[in-house]
């Protein structure tokens, strides 16, 4: 019994750490969104009133800001009130056991896709860094944007692995604590 408690404690600490990373990435994106908004407004103001614009605005926003805004907060959706979309039209009529297996299959397929996104994101960032790829107009490196894809995919993948572990633990336990997700369920670990 003591070994199970140690494992549960480790799992809860790991989940809390990954949840904090996910929340931190979402908060960083919120700040980045404000920076992007100011950057865009400044560019529009300069173009409208002075007839000049900031060189590389489109490249910076497309290669850095937009990539970060799309990929970095994905993992936060896993801990934010079940933020990702669920369609239950087909599964609402299935037995509890079959629902669980369909859910596991969905998480495994999603993990496979985002595993590929992560691997190829890191490979692309590494290749860009080694090749010295830069943006055409301003010469900024491309690899940070590709790295953000990989980091966002990694965080989401880690959240998916935690979800799969929770599903398997819940299927093995029959206590009322397991039915609600246990002591470190996504409901109790939100900040």
Residue 190 lies in a domain: no
Which regions in the chain score pLDDT beneath 70? Answer: 1, 81-85, 173-191
Tell me what pLDDT residue 188 has: 41
Residue 33 lies in a domain: yes
Give me the number of domains the chain comprises: 1
Residue 37 lies in a domain: yes
Q: Exposed/middle/buried for 101, CB within 10 Å: 0-12, 13-18, 19+? A: middle
Residue 184 lies in a domain: no
Q: Is the CB of residue 134 less than 8 Å from the CB of residue 163?
A: no
Residue 138 lies in a domain: yes
Tell me what pLDDT residue 42 has: 94
Q: Exposed/middle/buried for 159, CB within 10 Å: 0-12, 13-18, 19+? A: buried
Tell me what pLDDT residue 137 has: 83
Q: Is the CB of residue 162 less than 8 Å from the CB of residue 182?
A: no
Residue 52 lies in a domain: yes
Residue 144's domain spans which residues? 2-179
Residue 187 lies in a domain: no
Residue among 127, 125, 123 at smallest CA distance from 115: 123
Tell me what pLDDT residue 83 has: 58
Residue 137 to residue 163: CA distance in whole angstroms? 43
Residue 81 to residue 49: CA distance in whole angstroms? 44
Residue 186 lies in a domain: no
């Amino acid at each position: 019994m003591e070994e199970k408690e140690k494992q549960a404690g480790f799992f809860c600490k790991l989940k809390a750490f990954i949840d904090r990373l996910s929340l931190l990435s979402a908060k960083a994106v919120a700040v980045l969104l404000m920076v992007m908004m100011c950057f865009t407004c400044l560019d529009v103001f300069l173009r409208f009133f002075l007839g000049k614009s900031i060189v590389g605005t489109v490249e910076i926003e497309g290669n850095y800001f937009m990539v970060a805004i799309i990929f970095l907060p994905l993992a936060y959706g896993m801990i934010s009130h079940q933020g990702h979309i669920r369609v239950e039209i087909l599964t609402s009529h299935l037995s509890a056991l079959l629902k669980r297996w369909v859910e596991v299959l969905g998480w495994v397929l999603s993990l496979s896709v985002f595993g590929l996104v992560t691997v190829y994101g890191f490979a692309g960032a590494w290749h860009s860094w080694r090749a010295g790829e830069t943006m055409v107009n301003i010469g900024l490196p491309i690899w940070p944007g590709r790295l953000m894809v990989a980091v966002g995919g990694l965080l989401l993948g880690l959240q998916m692995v935690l979800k799969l572990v929770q599903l398997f633990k819940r299927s093995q336990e029959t206590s009322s604590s397991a039915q609600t997700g246990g002591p470190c369920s996504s409901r109790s670990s939100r900040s």
